[in-house]
Every structure is written in C-alpha cells, then in structure tokens.
Amino acid sequence: MKTIKIALIQMCVKEDKTANLEKAEKMVAEAARQGAKIVVLPEMFTTPYQNDFFPLYAEVCPGHTTDRMGQWAKKNEVCLIGGSIPEKENGKIFNTCFVFDQTGQMIGRHRKMHLFDIDVKGAIRFMESETLSPGGTVTVCDTPFGRIGVAICFDMRFPELMRLMVDAGAQMIFIPAAFNMTTGPAHWHMTARMRAVDNQVFFGVASPARDKNASYVAFGHSMLCDPWGRIVAEAGAQECIVFAKADLQKVEDIREQLPLLKARRKDVYTLKHVRMD
C-alpha cells in the first residue's frame, strides 16, 4: 500500500491537562474514523507552551500520558506520532515525542535536540534552555507504512538533522511544532517545503491551533508537503484536523527524476552522526 492517509491534529491547547488529553483522545479517534492511518499530534499538547508550566506538567515516561497514547493508537489502529510532552528523567526535563504503532506499542522516542532559544528584538523572546535539556539522538521509526523520521519544532531549522534522518532511511518526516507569530509568517512554509524538496520526502508539520490569549501564540498552519515541495493540505489558524494523502511512489519517482540525494558529493563533504545518547 503506497498511499497513506495522514491526519495532522491542530488542537487548541489549554491550561487544563485533563481537558487537553480528552481533546487529543477525541481528535485522534475522529481522525481514525475518517480513515487516517498515521496521526500526528502537535508539540507540547498537554501543556501551555511556557517555561513555568513545563516542570509542573512533566511526567516520568512510560507514565500516564504515554499509556493513554498507546491506548489511543491501539484502539483506533493508527500509527500515532504523539506530538510532544514535557518528560522528566533524573532531574532533567526533555521536550519529547513518543511514537506508537497501531498495536499500541511504543516504537520511537525523540527528545528535542535543538532547544528554542531566541531573542528577536521587539518581537519574540523564548529560552527553552531555562527549563529543558536537549536530546542527542537522530530518530527514525519503522512502521508498516515505511520508515518515518521524527523531530520537534526548532529541530527542523537544522538541515543536518533532516539529512541524517533521510540517510537513516526516512521516506516521511513528521515534526510536531509550534512556530510563533514572528517566525511563523516569516519561515514556516518555506522551511517545511524546502526540507521536503531537499530530502525528497513527505514532510508533515503539526502545530497547536492559534490561541491569541496564550502567553506563546502558535502560528497554526499544520500541513503536509510532498517531495516536490507542494503543499498537499494545510490548516489555517483554527482548531482542526488536516487530512492529506501521501503517495510514497512519489518519493521514488522524484528521487529518480531529480536525483538530489544521489548527486551529493560525498567525496567532497561528509555529514556524520557522531553521538548517540
């Protein structure tokens, strides 16, 4: 089966963790009801995107939220890219995405590798490193739908990491993410589209819905891009589920017709993964 229906859950995240989990559960079920086989939740979907909330909402994993995500995946028979949650371990907190197959088994875990520390004068300041620690692993997961690369938000700013996922066999990359009202209009579309083109993959980004009353206002515009850089489907700012079909034959065709991956000059430059956590 080469064509896969994908759902990107652009949910509105609030302060109430229980309500966030209930909403995510309902939206995953609705996505599955409409035929999605891969379902992607947004970054930090259990907690407001604020440094003062991350420690309060952090969980040891496996734990309550990962258990529930596993159940949602199993019950709905979907591959679930579980957005991200604040994860506690040995006194550190990570921004972590857990991935589950359609039997509910955890098949992947990505800890955000590039922390979002930004200070654009007069526009946006955010320092994830005030509360979070970074991961150090390139993450790909084997699913019945092919090998999937997973990273989180600011990670997609780094072409090196995207490349390493593709070198590890990814045909699709999914990024739970929350750009803001400065970086979103400036860079969101071009980054998602260009990573798809450069790496000749389907590239999906799932954002929280825009909430103008939030401390950190997410841009929204969850979308799936095909390997030619076309936007297959895209949300606006509001809460919704984006459905999009990915025809993996396109990955093969485009890699053949415009052989960017093959044409790399590996005799001139090398990109290497030098550390695993």
Considering the complex, what minimum distance in angstroms separates the CB of residue 37 from a copy of itself? 28
Size of the site for a copy of itself (CB under 8 A): 48
CB of 95 to a copy of itself, least distance (A): 14
Q: Give yes or no: 240 in active site.
A: no
Q: What is the DSSP letter of 156?
A: G
CB-side exposure of 174: number of CA atoms within 13 Å?
32
Closer of 35 and 136 to a copy of itself (Cβ): 136
Q: Which of residues 50-79 bind a copy of itself (CB under 8 A)?
A: none
- Which of 61, 79, 153, 225 is an active site residue? 153
- In the region spanning residues 94 to 133, those forming contacts with a copy of itself, defined by CB under 8 A, are 113-115, 117-121
Closer by beta carbon to a copy of itself, 50 or else 182: 182
153 flagged as catalytic: yes
CA torsion sign, 191 to 23 to 80 to 82?
A: positive
Pick one of 69, 79, 93, 197: the residue that binds a copy of itself (CB under 8 A): 197
Is residue 176 reached through a cis peptide bond, with omega within 30 degrees of 0 on the bond before it?
A: no
Assign residue 229 a region (left: φ > 0; alpha: ψ between -120 and 50; beta: otherwise).
left
- Report if residue 271 touches a copy of itself, rule: CB under 8 A: yes
250 is catalytic: no
- DSSP-assigned letter for residue 54: H
Closer residue to a copy of itself in complex, CB, 78/164: 164
Query: 218 φ, ψ to 5°?
Result: -75, 150
Give Cα separations from 265 to 49, 115, 166, 235 (angstroms): 40, 30, 16, 37
| Residues 155-194, interacting with a copy of itself (CB under 8 A) | 157-161, 163-164, 183, 186-187, 190-191, 193-194
Cα gap 247→230, rounded to integer Å = 13
**Interface positions, 135-154, toward a copy of itself (CB under 8 A):** 136-138, 154
Calculate the alpha carbon distances from 5 to 39, 84, 249, 259, 266 in Å.
9, 21, 14, 26, 35
User: Which is the catalytic residue, given 17, 23, 37, 112?
Assistant: 112
As a residue count, the chain comes to: 277
CB of 131 to a copy of itself, least distance (A): 17
Catalytic residue among 23, 43, 79, 97: 43
Structure tokens, 253: 């065709």
**Which residues 12-31 are close enough to bind a copy of itself by CB under 8 A?**
none
> Hey, what's the torsion of the CAs at 156, 161, 162, 167, to 10 degrees?
-170
Query: Whose Cβ is closer to a copy of itself: residue 18's or residue 270's?
Result: 270
Residues interacting with a copy of itself, by CB under 8 A? 113-115, 117-121, 134, 136-138, 154, 157-161, 163-164, 183, 186-187, 190-191, 193-194, 197-198, 228-229, 256-260, 263-265, 267-275
Question: Mind telling me the catalytic residues?
Answer: 43, 112, 153
